[in-house]
Structure 1
Amino acid sequence: MVLEIRRAGQSDRDAVARLLDEAFRDDPVSSWVFPDPAHRAAVHGKFLGVFVDVALAEGRIDYAADGSAAALWLRVPAGDHEGEAEDDVPAMMRAAADPDNERCELVGRLTGEVHPTSEEHEYLLMIAVAPGRQGEGLGTELMRPVLERCDREGVPAYLEASSERSKALYERLGWQFTGTAVRLPDGPLMWPMWRKPQP
């Protein structure tokens, strides 16, 4: 498979947010944050739109030319970044989507607590494939250029898997579970995963 990939710009913002909404609408974490399906349908896109805004401003979005997939990446420097602007993202997500829902903010706080700080790395903030195209290998193809660059440059990568299925996919691509799962209160697990540069 040859997937044509381009870098998304501001004009793609709403299309990428819609793609994330469609791809993650039934994800275990999204279902925990917004338990009521009707309410989730109304606010989920706003919630994930904050990720799109952060990636456009501070990182990059690799976008399939046909709109079928998108990967949101941030290059995170080494060091403790507590108190910097990105630490406000959980609050921004809550304010943008559902101000009365503390789970909007809590999921970001809990994942932030386990995010590695010892080494510079590429952070796969989110990757989405359109529901009708999942299982075709698009996600793997979309990640490949960044992972190959990581390997060439000796840079690790990091992500949080939100399902057993995605965890298994990432393991095939060289990521390893860090050993400490994020436990959402009365909800699903998330699996922080670290990928060392591959020879």
Structure 2
Amino acid sequence: MGVAVRRAGEGDREVLARLLDQAFQDDPVSRWVFPDAEHRRRTHPLLMGAFLDLVLDEGYVDVTEDGSACALWLSVPAEAHEEDEDGPAQLREAVDPENERVELIGRLTAEIHPAGRAHEYLWLIAVAPERQGEGLGTALIEHVLERCDREHLPAYLEASSSRSRVLYERLGFTVGDPLDLPSGPSMWPMWREPLRG
């Protein structure tokens, strides 16, 4: 029983933004960025929509055929251009101007992102809460990892929960030193070398 995966387009934006919001509302990092539950309920969808727009513009989004799971990927070249210094500040201004954590999370993850080797970067992966545990996330990730292995490309991500970290370890990612958010949870940078076939 395979999972059908297709490339998402602009016509999928509304459904995928809602999916990302639902999947990450209670994520430890989302709760840290938006500690007040009511504010998070109102503002978190804007952040997820901004992330989705960026990846639809600069990367690619894979989605299961039924729309219950999606993965946001960026292809990072070896000679990656310098990070947009203003990007995190612009994101904060667009999403939640009074919330410095919106900007801080972008700056901190940019600081730990590996440089010097081309790789595929899994920015976010979301599975509808009622469909979690069915292997949809694994299928989406393996869809890209198979290509990474063929093309001898590593892959990178930051795990935002211990549950997701375990999944990624099962898929061959190794854990780096944690990023401890100020007065908040940890994130784990994870790297996967391509398998030699």
TM-score class normalised by the smaller sequence: over 0.9
* Equivalences for residues 1-199 of structure 1 within 5 A: 1-79=1-79, 81-84=81-84, 87-178=85-176, 180-199=177-196
3-state DSSP of counterpart to 2:195: coil
Equivalent residues of 1:50, 1:89 under 8 A apart:
no
- Distance (Å, rounded) in 1 between the aligned partners of 2:87 and 2:62: 21
Letter in 2 for 1:14: E
- Distance (Å, rounded) in 1 between the aligned partners of 2:194 and 2:71: 19
- Distance (Å, rounded) in 2 between the aligned partners of 1:130 and 1:13: 15
Letter in 2 for 1:192: P
- Distance (Å, rounded) in 1 between the aligned partners of 2:192 and 2:14: 30
Letter in 1 for 2:73: W
Q: Can you give the 5+ residue segments of structure 2 that lack an aligned partner in the other structure?
A: none
- Distance (Å, rounded) in 2 between the aligned partners of 1:106 and 1:172: 30
Provide the alpha-carbon RMSD of the alignment: 1.2
Shift of 1:15: 1.1
Equivalent residues of 1:9, 1:56 under 8 A apart:
yes
3-state DSSP of counterpart to 1:197: coil
Letter in 1 for 2:34: F
Equivalent residues of 1:50, 1:92 under 8 A apart:
no
Equivalent residues of 1:4, 1:64 under 8 A apart:
yes
- Distance (Å, rounded) in 1 between the aligned partners of 2:175 and 2:35: 27
Letter in 2 for 1:187: G
- Distance (Å, rounded) in 2 between the aligned partners of 1:39 and 1:52: 20
3-state DSSP of counterpart to 1:81: coil
| TM-score, structure 1 normalization | 0.95
User: Number of matched residues?
Assistant: 196
3-state DSSP of counterpart to 2:124: strand
Equivalent residues of 1:75, 1:120 under 8 A apart:
yes
Q: Can you give the 5+ residue segments of structure 1 that lack an aligned partner in the other structure?
A: none
Shift of 1:181: 1.3
Shift of 1:80: 5.2
